[in-house]
Chain A
Amino acid sequence: MANLERSKQRRGLVAIDAAMAVIITLLVVQIWLLNATLETFLAGHKGAVLSAAIFSGIAFLGCLALDFFVTRVDQESGK
């Protein structure tokens, strides 16, 4: 029984770690996107601003979904 609990917890941790890795990747992409958008905007090009905001929003929604996933795994891992 205790082994089952430990295994469940370990699997939960692996899932959370994987979700965190994806969130970090999305965040790095967002940081790059913000930097590139700001540079192009200051250089007088406004064409990419809307698409960058949309992609950044999608990345944020992805992070939010993964955050909910982490919360759910946390709840289900025998706490």
Chain B
Amino acid sequence: MPLLRSPSKEPLWKDEFSVFTSDERYVTRRQFTKFLTLASLGMFVGNLWILAKSRFTKTQASPTVEVAETGEIPVRGVKLFTYPTPQNHCILIRTSAEEYVAYSQKCTHLSCAVYYSAKEDRLECPCHQGFFSIKDGSVLQGPPPRPLPQITLEKDGARLLAVGVRGS
């Protein structure tokens, strides 16, 4: 069937709703093929959208923000803060006397807030039992598809500063 039907041809309803079984087989296949091609176009548009987003979205500036004083939280203790915007909740964990790590609190599965389990020494998402490593935020178990974004920390004397986000 041509893309544009000429007026001299049979009416569309006669062509698309044939009374002959043999013709009907062609019609259903033709329509299904068109549907599949449209779905393929949709996938292509989706990829183009991601490409446009990756090219034209400005990377968020990483401000330097003080998140805690060293010694403010005990070993295996936590402190919640927001970084880089007040909408991005993060969790700071003191893993040893001199070591601190911080991650985004938003689970990469369905965005529930993760919490630190001192008993298991890992970050846990209570919604679907997704567990993350305290060392690098990688997924240990559960449905999360990606590691937690890690907040880069720097020490400035007695102050602990957040200076960037990795893997966001």
Seen from chain A, the residues whose Cβ lies within 8 Å of a Cβ on chain B are 6, 9, 12-13, 16-17, 19-20, 23-24, 26-27, 30-31, 33-34, 37-39, 41-44, 46, 49-50, 52-53, 56-57, 59-60, 63-64, 66-67, 70-71, 74-75, 77, 79
Contacts and interface: CB of A to CB of B under 8 A. Distances in A.
A27 B25 contact: no
B46 A34 contact: yes
A13 B26 contact: yes
With most chain B CB atoms within 10 A of its CB, the pick from A6, A24, A63 is: A63
B47 A66 contact: no
Given A26-B40, A44-B166, A20 B33 contact: yes
Contact of B30 (A46, A50, A74): A74
Q: Is the interface of B mostly helix, strand, loop or mixed?
A: helix
Interface of B: 1-2, 22-23, 25-26, 29-30, 32-34, 36-37, 39-41, 43-44, 46-48, 50-51, 53-54, 108, 145-147, 149, 166-168
A79 B22 CA distance: 10
Contacts of A63: 36-37, 40-41
B50 A41 contact: yes
A23 B50 contact: no
Contacts, number: 112
A16 B22 CA distance: 13
Contacts of A53: 44, 47-48, 50-51
Contacts of A41: 50, 53-54
A42 B51 CA distance: 12
A23 to B, nearest CB: 5
20 contacts: A23-B36, A23-B40, A27-B43, A34-B46, A37-B50, A41-B54, A43-B146, A44-B149, A44-B166, A49-B51, A49-B54, A52-B51, A56-B46, A57-B47, A60-B43, A64-B40, A70-B29, A74-B26, A75-B1, A75-B2
